Chains A and B, each alone.
Chain A
């Protein structure tokens, strides 16, 4: 089991007094799924965005796929990482002026310099995996939120990444659309994709994840397997958080 991602005492502050990340350290092994949970403002999104260089950090070190990044690393190193790490956003962030297929083939053609036919063939394959190949010629605004998010997943897969990052992929979706996206993610996990998922979906975390990382105000509160985390969380803070979520679920 070789680790794909090693994060060592990562620290970032937006202003002098507030630490967005406070000495965060963890490891993700190949083929494993790490779920990151925590209250809003706890630094989950910041953490996941530092991994592919969308956020800078002040101290510490990230080792992604053997590429070591420190706070003063240059753009080129980050580019290298981005080509091997896919990312899915909360707001899908599809390109509205391109068709679904063009959204997916843009990066393979421009970044990996693959020929158009090959990229389109693989793009269609990915779309059929996501169950939306009939929408290939449409534009993003013609699709529902769930479909758009599945396109976004297909787009991030088009570069054949070795690690996938999900930043609250279901938070912007209608409740009845959430499952179609979670199912797609579940299938990816079954195929052995290494994933880091920021989410509030407890059911998904219980069933799919290998490890749960709980954060609060920039610190890692605990890392444990889902069985332990959801039944007998060792830390007071995480128990409180789980109770809150349970309450809000039962109200619904």
Chain B
């Protein structure tokens, strides 16, 4: 009986499918779908551009970009953005010269010390306190510095985890496992509240650097696992070949294993970068004025009270655009790194 019912339903379903998918009907349904889509999107854009009041964003653009960075020094983060933007362009559209390809990676690394110098000042620039850093500047600064520090630490952790020395291997495994078992927000609270207690008397790390330290501790464990995956996929005969050439373990790691594993781990590393970029918004809970923190303080302003929708649509778009750019750059980097290498 049950079986009969099932057959009946299948039969009915097939007939319905045939009816719906006949050619003229297909065109008709396509047309209907198109009309619905257009009218919906018209309504949406109408709502976005005419019903919402974007003054809350437009009058605060400066705050979104630089936070409370002193206005006569704002050329410094602007210059940093410009350098980031130009190296992004060079990565995506740059000519395929060999020397450029090889140095792009170092160019990307160099943007971080440049950012630290430009934001912090000193050596000829007026110093700016880190509590004045904010907005997009701070978001990008925390992201890039954390990646800058956690990448080498991650590589070292991954190598240690594969080490033949018992203690080193166990310690690194322990660190990675603990960090992966703790929620990020707990690590961030730890960074903000507990690190000052552990520091010797008289030593102080300000809030931004404590945040970067916490992110670095957390992300390096994940990066270590990504790189370990890359290391494991390198065939053993590569090590044998390097051994037979008389290279020692350090040289094999530096010249053979790390470059190949970085290339293999690049998609996973991009994933970490994008995740980290979005996770910096957690710092708004801990009182840093990055993108989300700026938004919260703007919403607390009596002038703009209740304009949540505009602020959060704007915020989502900014995150979306920047993440898309990062993913695109990484894809390009992947291509330039693989061209002709066939792996």
A interface, CB within 8 angstroms of B: 52-54, 79, 82-83, 85-87, 89, 91, 93-97, 106-107, 110-111, 138-142, 155-156, 159
Contacts and interface: CB of A to CB of B under 8 A. Distances in A.
Contacts of B343: 96-97, 141
B3 interface: no
A54 B237 CA distance: 11
Given A89-B237, A95-B256, A141-B343, A107 B245 contact: yes
A53 B240 CA distance: 10
A139 B247 contact: no
A53 B244 CA distance: 8
A60 B334 CA distance: 50
Given A97-B343, A107-B246, A139-B341, 13 more contacts: A54-B244, A79-B246, A82-B244, A93-B241, A95-B256, A96-B341, A97-B260, A107-B247, A111-B251, A138-B340, A139-B342, A141-B342, A156-B245
B240 A89 contact: yes
Given A89-B237, A95-B238, A97-B259, A111 B342 contact: no
- SS class of chain B's interface: helix, strand, loop or mixed? helix
B248 interface: yes
Give the interface size class of chain B: 20 to 34
B255 A96 contact: no
Interface in B231-265: 237-238, 240-248, 251, 255-256, 259-260, 263
Contact of A111 (B247, B259, B263): B247
> Top 3 nearest A-B pairs by Cβ distance?
A141-B342, A93-B241, A107-B245
**Most A Cβ at <10 Å: residue of B245, B247, B248:** B245
A141 B342 CA distance: 6
B341 A110 contact: no
Given A141-B341, A141-B343, A93 B246 contact: no
8 contacts: A82-B243, A82-B246, A93-B240, A93-B241, A97-B341, A106-B247, A106-B255, A110-B251
